[in-house]
Amino acid sequence: MPSQTFDNRRLVGIHAERVTNVSNNEFPGHYPGEDHSWNLEKFKKNLTVTVQRLSQHSIDFDIVGVDASIANAFRRIMMAEVPTVAIEQVFVWNNNSVIVDEILAHRLGLVPLNVDPSLMKMREPDTTPTDQNTLVFNVDITCERNPKAPKGTLNPHELYINSEFLSSHITWTPAGDQEETFAAKRPAPINPNIVLAKLRPGQQINMELHAVKGVGKDHAKFSPVATASYRLLPHIKITKPIPPSKAEKFQKCFSPGVIKIDPRTKEVSVDEKNVRNDSVSREVLRHPEFADSVELSRVRDFFLFNVESEGPYAPERILPEAIKVMREKLAVIRQAALALREKTTTVDTDVVMADS
């Protein structure tokens, strides 16, 4: 038996051919004699956010006590609505490399920049670029033969000067007050070693780049994350003792580290720390001898998030930024609802929703 148990109402049943109890039934009127109306204090008591792992570019954290709609909203906002800064316009003065202008411009737009979006304003369509909404970068690189190349070498890095157009060749040109605004960290690509094009003697690239603030729902280049995903916490319940002779076979039906076998007694148990790593492949249910010995499920309101940051945000900052965006959305909805209520209480006619 697992040491950590959950209310059966919270479990999504995983069977050999089907999934059961997928919907949340904790709403008013479903269970007789029980009050499941939404309560702020109860919500605050049940809600927990726990960081499980944090590195320079990724984070694993758990969100417990929310509906799937809320967890998925956070995931979508992290991918599509947390703003970043990326190259939007490319003015090509000269490019005689083998990479055509359009492909090179597309590659440049996907280069992550280290610019803090909070220091810039959104640039509205058809507005003039300013030092508050646009960053200007320049590229001027020419490939030449290296007169000091070792004799007989075939290495292009030794044969030629500037044999590759790297992201480090993108240089920032300050305008207006930007020198002071970005004094703490000069705008530049996060990774200076991204190869954008390969050059040979006589080939030159000269262009001006304009970077603006945007969001991922407009273009993927503005997404602050490489991946943002979640899954439900696996729950494994051993209902009958597993015979010692079949302990290893049972263990191999799960992801490594999920099932423990006592070396002395051969008793099988679930590792509560590593159960989160199980893929819930249902392999164990394919074997008739184990079909009645284990119950598989997932905890409906226990979300295991994995987020990889590929932009200016530290991994631990992305969720708070997503929450900030959600609060702004809720404020707009609340304002619209109050305005709608005010109109309906004063005028007994249909309300015309004007374009914003």
200-238 pLDDT tens trace: 999 999 999 999 999 999 999 999 999 999 999 999 999
Query: Which residue matches tokens 């302990």?
Result: 247
pLDDT at 350: 57
How far is residue 44's CA from residue 160's CA, in Å, rounded to a whole number? Answer: 63
pLDDT at 57: 92
Measured N-to-C along each axis, helices 315-346 and 68-80 cross at an angle, to the nearest 10 degrees, of 110
Confidence of residue 36 (pLDDT cuts 50, 70, 90): confident
pLDDT at 8: 87
Q: How many CA atoms lie within 13 A of 88 on its CB side?
A: 21
More confident residue, 347 or 131: 131
DSSP 275: G
Query: Which residue matches tokens 């006592």?
Result: 262
pLDDT at 88: 95
β-bridge pairing 204-214 and 135-142: antiparallel
Neighbour tally for 74: CB within 10 Å: 22
Burial class of residue 56 in the structure, from the number of CB atoms within 10 Å of its CB (0-12 exposed, 13-18 middle, 19+ buried)? exposed
How far is residue 187's CA from residue 179's CA, in Å, rounded to a whole number? Answer: 10
Residue 209 makes CB contacts below 8 A (sequence gap 6+) with: 87, 89, 90, 91, 108, 136, 137, 138, 139, 170
User: Does residue 5 have a pLDDT over 80?
Assistant: no
Which backbone phi and psi does 72 adopt, to 5 degrees? Answer: -70, -30
CA distances for 214 relative to 106, 115, 210, 211, 317, angstroms: 16, 12, 13, 9, 18
Whether 181 and 133 have beta carbons less than 8 Å apart is answered as: no
Which backbone phi and psi does 59 adopt, to 5 degrees? Answer: -150, 140
Residue 167 makes CB contacts below 8 A (sequence gap 6+) with: 111, 189, 191, 192, 193, 194, 196
Residue 53 makes CB contacts below 8 A (sequence gap 6+) with: 59, 60
How far is residue 312's CA from residue 116's CA, in Å, rounded to a whole number? Answer: 6
Residue among 221, 98, 202, 210 at smallest CA distance from 143: 202
Confidence of residue 28 (pLDDT cuts 50, 70, 90): confident
How far is residue 140's CA from residue 138's CA, in Å, rounded to a whole number? Answer: 7
Q: What is the pLDDT of residues 59-102, one digit of tens each?
A: 999 999 999 999 999 999 999 999 999 999 999 999 999 999 99
Identity of residue 206: N
How far is residue 31's CA from residue 7's CA, in Å, rounded to a whole number? Answer: 15
User: Does residue 1 have a pLDDT over 60?
Assistant: no
Neighbour tally for 106: CB within 10 Å: 14
Whether 197 and 164 have beta carbons less than 8 Å apart is answered as: yes
The whole model's pTM is what? 0.85
